[in-house]
A = this chain, B = another copy of it.
Amino acid sequence: MTRPEPPNNSAAAVVLLSGGLDSATTLAIARQQGFACHCLSFSYGQRHSIELDAARRVAASMHAAEHRVIDLDPRTFERSALTDAAVDVPRDRDEAAMAGAIPSTYVPARNLLFLSYATAWAESLDARNVFIGVNAVDYSGYPDCRPAFIDAFERAANLATKLGVEGVNDGSGGLRVHAPLIDLTKAQIVERGVSLGVDYGLTTSCYDPDARGRPCGRCDACRLRAAGFREAGIPDPALRSA
């Protein structure tokens, strides 16, 4: 039996959703652009797995079409401070330090794998769009947040897939990987999200929250988030509600 293919699902997008500030903003942008958003999160042994609860709250609050949490084998990501309790999360780093060497919180090939899953799911949905909340301005120095990687991934994904081959043939261009935050400062991201009605009180950014889920205030993610809200002149509602 051959099953009829769904019509070109041009109004659907897969949105990578971590439960943090950036991905919540990205979801709001995708939604504003009119996409039905299929949100994708990953459980990969991250010490801040509390972010998955945040991702669920964010997806629900923004009326996602669907939200999936996929289990990844944590053994694939050994030797990261985010997956190995024996490796410390760096604290109190200033911007100069963050702009230097890749930190121990780097997770091997994480965005490559996340985007590959998103591509597979997009193709299953016959969707043509994937969103990722990477940011190359106020970030921790991860290589997989740079524009050159996003461009190279989009190219590889289109060469890898039926979606891409058909996109060449029908002139649609195949899969598009959107990284709408890539050139924004953290303050600009906060402003954009607030203007779109994102409730940042639902999000969590900390790499190393305590047992009650409260942010440490000292890891790169906490520091970048705090600086963003401060520069935007907006109080962080997640701190208020903590």
Contact = CB atoms under 8 A, between A and B. Distances in A.
Contacts of A162: 102, 106, 108, 143
B119 A109 contact: yes
A110 interface: yes
Interface stretch (A25-33, A67-75, A186-194, A199-207): A67-75
A124 B87 contact: no
Contacts of A143: 159-162, 164-165
A229 interface: no
A221 to B, nearest CB: 18
A120 B108 CA distance: 5
Q: Which of A111, A121, A143 has the most CB of B within 10 A?
A: A143
Contacts of A109: 116, 119-120, 123, 157, 160-161
Contact of A2 (B87, B115, B117): B87
- How many identical subunits does the complex contain? 2
Contact of A76 (B124, B146, B161, B165): B124
Contact of A152 (B70, B120, B124, B152): B152
A236 to B, nearest CB: 30
Centre residue among A71, A111, A121, A123 by max chain B CB count within 10 A: A123
Contact of A155 (B117, B119, B152): B152
A92 to B, nearest CB: 16
Which of A148, A160, A164 lies at the interface centre, i.e. has the most chain B CB atoms within 10 A of its CB?
A160
Contacts of A113: 113, 116-117, 119-120
Contacts of A155: 152, 155-156
Contacts of A104: 2
A86 interface: yes
9 contacts: A1-B87, A71-B73, A106-B162, A108-B120, A110-B120, A143-B160, A152-B156, A155-B155, A156-B156
